[in-house]
Chains A and B, each alone.
Chain A
Amino acid sequence: MSMNRRHFLKGSSGATVMALAASAGLLKLDPALASTWNENAFKAKNLNETVKALGGQTATESKDITITSPDIAENGAVVPVSVSSKLPNVESVSILVEKNPNALAASFNIPQGTEAFVSTRVKMGQTSNVHAVVKAGGQYYYTTKEVKVTLGGCGG
C-alpha cells in the first residue's frame, strides 16, 4: 500500500497543485508576494537535497543554531518547534523533518530588523531528526535534534 501511495503522491500532488494554480493564474495574484513557492525544495527528501533546492551547495553543522522542541512528542500532528540562531546576517531559517515524505516543512525569509527566531508547529509521521537550516551571510548552516514521536494513545 505504501509503495502505491508514494508513487501516486510523487506523480500527482505537486503537479496538480501547480497546474491548478497556473491555469487560474492564482499564484500571481499578489505581486507583494516576493517569491513564488519553491516546489523543488518542498519535494526534496533529505537535508542535502533541500539545501541544494534552496540555492546552496552544502550546509555546515553549527552550534550557534538552537532548536527548541520537546524531546518526546506525544502527538505527531502538532509538534512545537522553535529555531533561533546567534549567527550574524541571518537571511533565512528552514525547518526540516527528516523522515517525513518531504523533508522541508517551512522556510522563513528573515529581513533585516527581524530577529533570527521563528516558532511554529509541524507534523511528524514518526520519530525523526529535525534539522534547522539557517542561511547566514550567503552560507548554509544546520543543526539537528531528534524528536521521538510516541504512537498510540497512551503517551508512553
Chain B
Amino acid sequence: MADPMRIRANMVDGKVEVKVLMAHEMETGQRKDSKGANIPAWFIQSVTATHNGKTVLDAQWGPAVSKNPFLSFRFSGGKPGEKVQVTWTDNKGEKRTDEATIS
C-alpha cells in the first residue's frame, strides 16, 4: 500500500484552498536501469477530489507530473469542519484515498 497523502484544506477568502502532497514514484517509462533495461512506466493517472459527495476537482495526469506530486486548487462552498477527500489511481490500478478536515 502506498504511503498516505498529506492534505491540507484551509479557508482562504471564503474559499477552501486544498493542498495535496502524494507519495508516488511517477516513473515515466523512459528511463533505463544500470543494465539498460527499460524501467516500466508507473504513474498516477487520475486524481479525484470530493467534498460532501460532490466532485470538486477531477484530473488526468501523464507521467510528466513530478515525482511525489503536489497539487493545489481552490473551491467555494466548503465550511470549516467539513471533510475533503482525495483519491488517486495509478496505471497499475493501485489506488489510495485520504481525507482532511477543512480548517
Are A42 and B40 also in contact (CB < 8 A) when A33-B89, A115-B73, A119-B70 are? no
Contact: A106 with B65, CB < 8 Å? yes
Q: How far is the CB of B60 from chain A (nearest CB, A)?
A: 5
Q: Is the interface of B mostly helix, strand, loop or mixed?
A: strand
Q: Which residues of B (25-40) have their CB < 8 Å from a CB of A?
A: 26, 28-30, 38, 40
B72 within 8 A of A: yes
Are A33 and B48 also in contact (CB < 8 A) when A97-B64, A105-B61, A118-B73 are? yes
Q: Which residues of A (84-124) have their CB < 8 Å from a CB of B?
A: 97, 100-102, 104-111, 113-115, 117-124
Cα-based distance from A42 to B29 in the complex (angstroms): 13
Cα-based distance from A131 to B91 in the complex (angstroms): 25
Cα-based distance from A117 to B57 in the complex (angstroms): 11
Cα-based distance from A104 to B26 in the complex (angstroms): 15
Which residues of A have CB within 8 Å of B57?
108-111, 114, 118
Q: Looking at chain A, what size class is its interface with the partner chain?
A: 35 or more
A3 within 8 A of B: no
Q: How far is the CB of A72 from chain B (nearest CB, A)?
A: 17
Determine which of B30, B41, B46, B65 lies in contact with A17 in the assembled complex, contact meaning CB atoms within 8 Å: B41
Contact: A38 with B60, CB < 8 Å? yes
Interface 0/1 of A12-35, CB less than 8 Å to B: 110011001100101101101111
Q: Is the interface of A mostly helix, strand, loop or mixed?
A: mixed
B67 within 8 A of A: yes
Contact: B61 with A24, CB < 8 Å? no
A78 within 8 A of B: yes
In the complex, what residue of chain A is closest to B36 when comparing beta carbons? A1
Q: How far is the CB of A31 from chain B (nearest CB, A)?
A: 12
Q: How far is the CB of B39 from chain A (nearest CB, A)?
A: 11
Which residues of A have CB within 8 Å of B91?
17, 20-21, 37
A151 within 8 A of B: no
Instruction: Mark A residues whose CB is within 8 Å of B.
Output: 5, 8-9, 12-13, 16-17, 20-21, 24, 26-27, 29-30, 32-35, 37-38, 41-42, 77-80, 82, 97, 100-102, 104-111, 113-115, 117-124
